[in-house]
Chain A
């Protein structure tokens, strides 16, 4: 019986002009957005590959130079573009693309694309994820809003029930029927996305990630299917069901995310850049400064080095003291920078937790957060990149300080490392965040989404028995 209901619902939906038109629009938008994303992906990928090469060449060909001057001269780390950004570019526009790596300082990623765009870029961008997360639920609402209220209005519900079908099977049949129509549309689109990903420079993990993104979408669509049938079964008429469902969509997609973005800032205030810099400067001054030998911490350090080497002046040390103290300063600076960055990140994470809690009213927030996590275009992935770049910076600078320490004499700032030295310095090879790490941070969100799905299914089932004819 469920099968018959599903089949009837499916054929009816397919025949509807409304469905045909909107499905066509969704499909076209999806295809266009994938094509545009692919184009963008290729452009950025070539740009970045070239940039990484050029910047390494510039670093290697800086000629004879004092290693510490080279540390001040610095180099760049460029964030590679992820294959899955083709599907969901997440926060990429709002995050910087390059980090300047230099001695003594940890820099933020620079150049957010959004700052180079017109104001109306803030309306959102047509990407495959946008189509999936914002538009497909609308299509589901359109298919499902009259699924039960329509039967009621036409009086066919009485007929159906008089045939001896249970209300539960009726609802299940309706849900299955809606899924058939939705599946008919999204399955080809999913395969299309897969085909495009296969043309990129993907990692094997990316395919499982894509599968998970698809699963997340299915759960998310499931929530909308269940909620739509639920609304349709208790609404006075189809019109009321439609208005209620669109209301749900607006709350879930527009109001809650914006509301939470303000609220989270009130509950977990982000420090202003000025406060942040001031407290950073404060902490930096409470430790060793490699450039200032008069600083009290430098004195203590000097004494300890002299004692350990059993000499009475730094000139008598068997190595260049400048290299050693620079490195010690670097270590202190890193600890300070890391601590402050961690504090800031903790605030961001607390704000994100709030967004996740707001998902009680908005399944959209969950879907959005999860897809960008699995597409490696979220904040966590960005932190991961920044951390790796920082590790690299420390490794590089310590190599430079090591050269200074071992191959030059104290006070001889005219010393220059051989050009070959720069060619042999460490290279930055970025390995993106692993699926395991993403899983760990995405687990709670994933469970939440499953709970939404289960709860909405239970709700619609429980309500089924209360439908009045």
Chain B
């Protein structure tokens, strides 16, 4: 065994192919990591500015607040600028705090849905948090072409390198005429092949690992975490899958040319054909609910509630006997907004019902579509990487839910103030709700890796079933 390995090493160092493979890995992984790093840095830069901007607004409020309390600034501020007004700090244009989905250092390995989903939103009393502000824009052609990220290198390009290093491990010997010599050695051909493959497997894995660590170090990525080990594990299994497949195809005993063709066809099937077919089938068997219909349904709900305006307000004033409904001419700003809030609560409730049923339909569609991932190791790997990077669509869905919950807190905090026209105390000013950035998502990572392992085992079993067949010793 050791002999074979030593010989392999000598042979490999002598061939240019190995140096090429190493060079391709290092350059493509470095470029991919660099791209990821830039994208993350842009996000972090935006997040920093958002936080500064929010800090600025609320510390200005605080300054005004203090000076008003001390009685020094009263004359210069109109009522709608007074930070003791709940409306000023809870509803108007200058109010609102950000809900932010922060990227992790390892988010750079896979773009996932991060270039189409929204990662921050300003939450205030009336902000329509995920509809109106379209905060993620990028050239659609670029988005459609996709990013050159680590996931692309690993899922698309890496298997090709595996193919390049393994397509002729048996047929090559036969075509050179060295196979009969080998067969005469007291070593079983399967073990000999396995040793060769193990060597190449270790070489490739080591090359990826080193390139990755090198790129991470050069671009200063803080990568040492459990996620990194999850990543290594995933890379290992994905690599194993392609080796098992290649081993099987090699054992079929065809010519090098035929092996190349079969391996490339498998690559095409797993990374190209099945994913695009799955994508098409998932949406055509179970279509997504229509956004266009949603737009109008929400509007209808809005219009219906607005028609009941008078009834809603009468009910409100009955429930709050201390308040009196004034005519529009007599209303102060506060009176106007009290009614506005009351009315909008009913409208929002109706609109949310429509939105909720849409979201449920969409969720059902997505979980149906997700079943198609088990058709291809490439999809499984992509999803597993998205899980590690937390760029899978479900992270954004959870973020949206959290942001909505945060807005509910915000509303609950300010509503009594609007209704009763109370001023905010300095203590309450410090208690204005803040978004808690914890995302808990059911990770499918282990299921995905398990399925990947099953794929690999399938081919490993085929390898062992294949052994009984005779292998041609001499090329035809």
Contact = CB atoms under 8 A, between A and B. Distances in A.
A142 B21 CA distance: 25
B145 A260 contact: yes
A195 B291 CA distance: 30
Contacts of B369: 117-118, 120
B314 interface: no
A351 B49 CA distance: 26
A356 B468 CA distance: 54
Taking each of B136, B139, B256, B382, which has the highest tally of chain A beta carbons within 10 Å of its own beta carbon? B139
A287 B136 CA distance: 27
A118 B141 contact: no
A351 B141 contact: yes
Contact of A36 (B112, B137, B284): B284
Given A98-B292, A122-B146, A124-B279, A116 B112 contact: no
Contacts of A259: 31, 148
Contacts of A122: 112-113, 146, 382
Measured as residues with beta carbon below 8 angstroms from the partner, the interface class of chain B is 35 or more
A441 interface: no
Contacts of B300: 54, 58
Nearest to A90: B144
A116 B366 CA distance: 8
B409 to A, nearest CB: 24
Contacts of A369: 141
Given A108-B134, A120-B278, A250-B160, A40 B142 contact: no
A123 B156 CA distance: 11
B442 interface: no
Contacts of A47: 290, 292-293
B123 to A, nearest CB: 16
B274 to A, nearest CB: 9
Interface in B340-388: 362, 366, 369-370, 372-373, 378-379, 382-383, 386
Interface string A99-141: 0100000011011111111111111111100100010001000
Contact of B148 (A36, A40, A261): A261
- Residue among A118, A242, A250 facing the most chain B CB atoms (10 A cut-off): A118
Q: How large is the interface on A (under 10, 10 to 19, 20 to 34, 35 or more residues)?
A: 35 or more
A238 B142 contact: no
A352 B282 contact: no
A58 B284 contact: no
Contacts of A54: 296, 300
B441 interface: no
B138 interface: yes
Interface stretch (A266-274, A310-318, A395-403): A266-274
A38 B284 CA distance: 11
Interface in B117-160: 117, 131-148, 152, 156-157, 160
Interface string B245-289: 000000000001100110010001001110111111011100110
Contact of B49 (A55, A126, A274, A378): A274
A414 interface: yes
Contacts of A351: 139, 141-142
Interface string A340-372: 000010011001100100000000000001000
B116 interface: yes
A272 B139 CA distance: 12
Given A123-B271, A261-B141, A274-B50, 15 more contacts: A36-B280, A54-B300, A55-B299, A58-B300, A78-B292, A91-B141, A98-B291, A117-B279, A123-B275, A239-B257, A239-B260, A246-B264, A260-B145, A261-B147, A265-B139
Interface of B: 31, 35, 38, 42, 45-46, 49-50, 112-113, 116-117, 131-148, 152, 156-157, 160, 256-257, 260-261, 264, 268, 271-273, 275-280, 282-284, 287-288, 290-293, 295-296, 299-300, 303, 328, 362, 366, 369-370, 372-373, 378-379, 382-383, 386, 391-393
Counting from the closest, the 9 A-B pairs by CB-CB distance are: A123-B275, A94-B140, A261-B142, A111-B291, A257-B145, A261-B145, A258-B148, A126-B280, A239-B257
